[in-house]
């Protein structure tokens, strides 16, 4: 075999290996974090003539143990399993991967802590906004697993190790707000809970019919491997959930191997329907509750880094980090007007009977553990940097995006995949010119509507559609408080 032929063979083998189906990338909200694929073919790297000077992330908490209700399903499955053969042969010896029942359900797992810490390390390397020793502020919804995610993130982002020797330096300040309450209105990282009308638009029950039909068929297939017990649709749902959860809790992926690729795609699509119709574009109030975050970030981007809003008492860092829950990410997508349009007719609204592979709205690419939506403000030179620069001793050549003619742009990333804004993606790396972005956000206001009016809060005292938690610390309406990590 010639060298050229060998290289071709190796390329083909590598390509086949890279295309191997991974259930953990199709497990919706049970997926441990992974970078979403480039749906639109755009590199997530910063364009060569640009630098990021300001960025905002809204992030789901990291991987966690099951909630108590889900864990009850695990225990019910455990008590039901007696014996099995074939792909289910391991079941008689399986035990739920929770060994501290009074404390673990509900809380962040060690994998979740690692995911959060790693994100901090990645963003420190990527943006280089905070020099060593500087303190740093992030924002978090109040539930413990979210606060813990924010805390581990700050430790990864700061990472200087002088916590004991310099107790006033290298600190993460976590601004926390009440979690899922109805008295902070839009001034929250969980605003859907403060919109009374929101639940009336939640039609995620549409996912139930799709899920039950497919799970029932899977149960029939698997029951041929069982003697003495019969699986039902509920059991299948628990078993598929266990693929992602057990993988991140204990590293055991045996439940992932039970199901066929097509069955994983159906499982994922049930998650898609749940989030699309529950908290995403299929809920008519989704954009309403997602818009205040978008408007707050657009205002900060318009002013530029190291500024505050009119009446603000706090200058947020150039990296604006907010931590929340899975159901609070789809409203941001709705407010942005992405993943709900297509050049192919009939893709949206999502069908409740079958999955269209042309859709971009995929829960696994958005609400995985530690999933996020990010907006980057880019400063870009008119042209690519020169390929060669002559070095002069004692003279530092300024980097990309620093020329007098540098222009500002905004780019959207969802789980590290670039998602162009519809009709506003002509800038470097499918970005949108800042002036056009401001107009785009203003147009989206008409879609979102007024938070107070649409949510039916006209008679509520202090009701507001403005999110000011990033520029007012502490926030009066947001009822925020501040934690320090690590504690001195």
Catalytic residues: 61, 326
Q: Secondary structure of 399-433 in the HEC alphabet?
A: CCCCCCCCEEEEEEEECCEECCECCECCEHHHEEE
- Interatomic CA distance for residues 66 and 79, integer angstroms: 18
Q: Secondary structure of 229-260 in the HEC alphabet?
A: CCCCHHHHHHHHHHHHHHHHHHCCCHHHHCCC
- The H or E element that residue 482 is part of is strand 481-485
List the one residue out of 17, 23, 20, 19 whose CA is nearest residue 260: 23
Structural contact between residues 33 and 370, judged by C-beta atoms closer than 8 angstroms? yes
Chain-centre distance of CA 45, in angstroms? 18
φ, ψ for residue 226 (rounded to 5)? -120, 145
Going through 224-366 in order, the beta strands assigned E by DSSP cover 319-324
Q: Secondary structure of 450-466 in the HEC alphabet?
A: CHHHHCCCCCCCCCCCC
Q: How many CB atoms lie within 10 A of CB 423?
A: 12
Q: How many helices (H) and strands (E) does the chain have?
A: 11, 9
DSSP characters over 356-412: -TT----GGGTSSTT-EEEEEEEEE-SSPPPS-----TT-PPP-TT-STT-EEEEEE
Burial of 2 (0-12, 13-18, 19+ CB in 10 A): exposed
- Interatomic CA distance for residues 276 and 194, integer angstroms: 20
Q: Determine the angle formed by the axes of helices 286-303 and 434-448, rounding to 10 degrees.
A: 160
Cα angle vertex 377, ends 123, 47, to 5°? 75
- Interatomic CA distance for residues 56 and 353, integer angstroms: 36
Antiparallel, parallel or unpaired: β 319-324 and 50-60 = parallel
Give, in order, the Cα–Cα distances in Å from 352 to each of 13, 203, 265, 269, 273.
37, 11, 14, 9, 7
- Interatomic CA distance for residues 211 and 268, integer angstroms: 10
């Amino acid at each position: 075999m010639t060298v050229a032929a060998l290289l071709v063979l190796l390329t083909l083998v590598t390509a086949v290996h890279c295309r191997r189906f991974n259930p953990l990338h199709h497990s919706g909200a049970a997926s441990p974090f992974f970078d979403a694929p480039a749906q639109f073919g755009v590199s997530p790297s910063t364009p060569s003539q640009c630098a990021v000077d300001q960025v905002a992330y809204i992030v789901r908490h990291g991987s966690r143990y099951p909630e108590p209700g889900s864990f009850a399903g695990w225990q019910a499955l455990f008590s039901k399993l007696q014996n099995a053969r074939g792909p289910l042969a391991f079941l008689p010896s399986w035990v739920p991967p929770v060994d501290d029942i009074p404390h673990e359900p509900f809380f962040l797992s060690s994998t979740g802590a690692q995911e959060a810490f790693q994100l901090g390390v990645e963003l420190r390397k990527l943006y280089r906004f905070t020099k060593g020793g500087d303190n740093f502020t992030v924002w978090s919804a109040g539930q413990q697993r979210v606060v813990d995610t924010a805390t581990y993130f700050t430790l990864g982002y700061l990472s200087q190790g002088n916590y004991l020797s310099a107790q006033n330096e290298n600190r993460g300040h976590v601004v926390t707000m009440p979690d899922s309450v109805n008295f902070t209105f839009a001034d929250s990282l969980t605003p859907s809970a403060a919109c009374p009308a929101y639940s009336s638009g939640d039609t995620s029950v549409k996912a139930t019919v799709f899920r039950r039909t497919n799970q029932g068929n899977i149960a029939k297939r698997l029951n041929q491997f069982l003697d003495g017990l019969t699986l039902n649709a509920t059991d299948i749902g628990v078993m598929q959930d266990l693929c992602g959860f057990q993988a991140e809790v204990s590293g055991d992926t045996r439940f992932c191997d039970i199901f066929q690729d097509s069955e994983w795609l159906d499982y994922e699509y049930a998650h898609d329907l749940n989030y699309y119709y529950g908290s995403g574009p299929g809920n008519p109030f989704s954009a309403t509750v997602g818009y205040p975050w978008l408007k707050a970030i657009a205002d900060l981007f318009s002013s530029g880094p190291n500024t505050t809003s009119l009446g603000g008492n706090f200058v947020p860092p150039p990296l604006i980090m907010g931590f929340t829950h899975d159901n609070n990410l789809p409203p941001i997508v709705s407010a942005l007007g992405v993943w709900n349009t297509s050049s192919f007719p009939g893709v949206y609204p999502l069908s409740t009977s079958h999955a269209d592979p042309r859709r971009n709205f995929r829960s696994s690419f958005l609400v995985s553990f530690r999933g996020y939506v990010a907006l980057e403000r880019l400063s870009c030179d008119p042209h690519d940097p020169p390929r060669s620069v002559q070095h002069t001793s004692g003279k530092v050549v300024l980097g990309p995006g620093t020329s007098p003619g540098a222009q500002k742009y905004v780019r959207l990333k969802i789980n590290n995949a670039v998602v162009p804004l519809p009709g506003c993606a002509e800038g470097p790396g499918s970005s949108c010119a800042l002036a056009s972005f401001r107009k785009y956000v203003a147009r989206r206001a008409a879609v979102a509507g007024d938070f107070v009016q649409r949510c039916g809060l006209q008679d509520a005292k202090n009701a507001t559609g403005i999110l000011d938690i990033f520029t007012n610390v502490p926030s009066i309406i947001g009822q925020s408080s501040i934690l320090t990590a690590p504690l001195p």
